[in-house]
Structure formats: C-alpha cells, structure tokens
Amino acid sequence: MLQAEGSELAGRQALVDGVDGSCTHGRLLIGWACTRNASRNVARIGPHFKSRKTHNHINQSVFTMKASLAELRVFVTLAESGHFTRAAERLGMSQSSLSAALVKLETQLGTRLFDRHTRACRVNEAGAALLPAARRLVADWDHMFAEARDFARFSRGRVTVAAPNAQCALLLPPAIRAFRDTHPGVRMVLHDVPEHEVLALVRSGAADLGIATQTDARIDLVSTALSADEFIVVLPPGHPLAARRTLEWAQVAREPVIGYLAGNPVRRLLEEKLAERGIALEYAFEIALPWTMMGLAREGLGIAVVTMALRPLAQWHGLEVRAVGRPQIARTMTLLRAPGNSLSPAAAAFRELLLGSASA
C-alpha cells in the first residue's frame, strides 16, 4: 500500500501539481483533494490504482486526469441508484452507453469505482472518496446552467438605465411598468442624472442604456433615434400669449424666459437653431430642474421654454402649453449604449420595448 507522506506541504504540492481549476473544451479538470487532505486521500485510494510506482505518478493519475461532465454525472447517478438499469433510465440513455461512460472514467482514474453484482453495484473505497467532490461538481454545473437559462428567459437579471430627470419622471415609468408586468424577475435600476452623467455612466458600463439629446459629439456611443421632442412654451393662466394657439419665436424672444442652464445640451441646441435665424432669447431665470421652471412660470415670473416631454408636468401645475412654429424646433432623443459592451438578454429586450413604444 502506498504510504501518505503526511505533511500539509506535500498536500499543497499535490494540489499545485495537478489542479489548475480550468475548463478546456467542455472538459473539467478534476482533483478531489483539498490542501489539508490531499496526501491522506492519495494514501486511502492508493491500493486501487493500477499504476502506482511513485508518489508523483499517483499525483499525475489523480490530479491531472480529465473527465467529462457526462461521465461524472453517470458516476454520481449510478452511485445514488445502485443499479445500472435505474441509473440509465434516470439519465435517459442506454445501459450500454452508461457502462461505456463508467469504464472510460475508471480507465482515466486507473481504478474501479464500484463493486459490481449482476446489474446492481455499490461504490467501493475509491468511489466513496471521489463521490462528494463529483456531486459538488455536477451540482455546481447544474446551478450555473440554471442561472444562465434564467437570464436568457428573463426569469432574473438586472437592467440599468441612465436618463435626465424629465425622462426618468415622465417617459420611463410607463415603459418600466410594462416590462415588469411581463418580466417580474428582472430588477430595474434607474439613474436620475444630468445628461453629461448619462454619457459617463453608459461609457463606463455602469448603465446598460442611456437616454439623451442627440448631438454630433457622441460618436463613441451607439446611438439610436428614440423620438422627436419639440420645443414648447409654458405660460401662466391669463398670459396674453395664451390667447394664441401657436406662437412664433419672435414673440417668445420679447418675453422674459425661464430656461435651462447655460451649457445644457437642450438649451445649446435651441440657441443654435434660433441663431441661424437671428433670434436670441432674454433669460430671466436659468434653471436646472423643470419643477423649478414650472413654479416660476406659475407665479408669472416669465414664460418657460421647455420640450414636449414636460407637457404633462406643466399641465399638472395648471399651466398653459403652446406650440411654437416659424421655425418649429425639436431635439431628437436617442437611446445610447456602449459599443464594446454586449447587452444582456433582459437589457436588449427593454431596449426593444423602448424603441417600439417610441415608434407606436
């Protein structure tokens, strides 16, 4: 009988020599000893190996052999059922195929794993030593496969979206509700941030998808047009311009304007389009948040120039909304993703839902 060399150092070396934790071409590298028990297990199963001239040879036999998952599953199922016919039925394979898989595994190990009695069998000492690790490997694989299948079927997962506050408040909630109704296991994460932070989150991969105003400066991101968002004017009730159904920008330019902060991409787009026609707006207030704009407009402190996305918010505040023509100006809202980051099945499905909702 081969004697264990006893030390923890020998156990560690056995593990290092033989177990690299890798999977190659669907084959699993198997080592059933941990650092503390490696030498002990080698000693225990030593008598069952055909080739055991040296300790190093045993290490190579035990720790660097390759076994397929199918062979390990045959071994575990047969050990649990104790019967060739029942094991074959559980695995949905012929008895001859089961026997061939077992023989292949035993050949690679250099030892028999079962004591056979006609069609019944029972694990021997070597089989009993291997069985716990084999069970864990098969169970881990099944768990990993089930998790991957759940992600593919949207039974679980996470979708992260970054968008400016107006889109987070008004555009995305109905879409998230519709998606959650059909995929309740998917967690939705929403980042309510300024537009420049939307871009940073998408570029870094912290957000799967982003919603922002289309500009020529975003060539590093995959951009898909989502919807046109026209500029409108929000007026307090009783304002003289509220008597008109449609306004002109020249009329708006004569009023104190409540607008976005300088540098905001929405404001920048508007000013570029108006400058082409020699029109400039006079700002009474430059505001970051649309809720503040509505509050100021409600008190008659100016007229708010915003986009159609904020119309529900304006109406909720009891304000008048008017379209502006000559020229009619609109921004394009785009759906962004990073080109180097593949979308999960759930994120891809939510992206399609947003695009479908926009085109409906």
Which residue range(s) make up the domain with 268?
Answer: 229-330
Task: For residue 61, name the pLDDT band (cuts at 50, 70, 90).
Answer: very low
Low-confidence winner among 188-202, 213-227, 290-304 (lowest mean pLDDT): 213-227
Residue 351 has pLDDT above 90, yes or no: yes
Decide if pLDDT at 3 tops 60.
no
Whether the pLDDT of residue 246 is over 70: the answer is: yes
**Whether residue 80 is found in the same domain as residue 26:** yes
**R_g over Cα of the chain:** 34
Residue 360: its pLDDT value, please?
59
Model confidence at 58, pLDDT cuts 50, 70, 90, reads very low
Per-residue pLDDT tens over the stretch 312-322: 999 999 999 99
CATH of the domain at 219: 3.40.190.10
Looking at 121, 151, 181, the residue that finishes a domain is 151
Q: Are residues 239 and 308 in the same domain?
A: yes
**Is the residue at 97 inside a domain?**
yes
On whether both 192 and 341 belong to a single domain, the answer is: yes
Of 136, 151, 166, which residue is a domain's last?
Answer: 151
Residue 287 within a domain: yes
Same domain, 206 and 354: yes
Q: What percent of the chain clears pLDDT 90, i.e. is strictly above it? A: 48
In this prediction, residue 156 carries a pLDDT of: 67
pLDDT, average across residues 222-243: 93
Mean residue pLDDT of the chain comes to 80
The pLDDT-based confidence of 34 (bands split at 50, 70, 90) is very low
- pLDDT band at residue 4, thresholds of 50, 70 and 90? very low
Assess whether 53 and 125 both reside in one domain.
yes
Q: How many domains does the chain have?
A: 3
Residues 90 and 147 in one domain: yes
Given this model, what pLDDT does residue 345 score?
A: 86
Does residue 111 sit in the same domain as residue 186? no
Q: In terms of domains, do 23 and 147 share one?
A: yes
Examine residue 165 and state whether it is found in any structural domain, yes or no: yes
- Residue 85 sits in a domain whose CATH number is 1.10.10.10
Place of tokens 């690679």: 108
Q: What is the mean pLDDT of residues 231-245?
A: 95
| Domain end marker among 129, 151, 173 | 151
pLDDT band at 217 (very low <50, low <70, confident <90, very high): low
Query: Is 219 a member of any domain?
Result: yes
Average the pLDDT over 218-246 and give the result. Answer: 91
Q: Are 348 and 308 in the same domain?
A: no
168 shares a domain with 62: no
Residues 44, 88 within the same domain = yes
Does 2 fall in a domain?
A: no
**Domain annotation covers residue 92:** yes
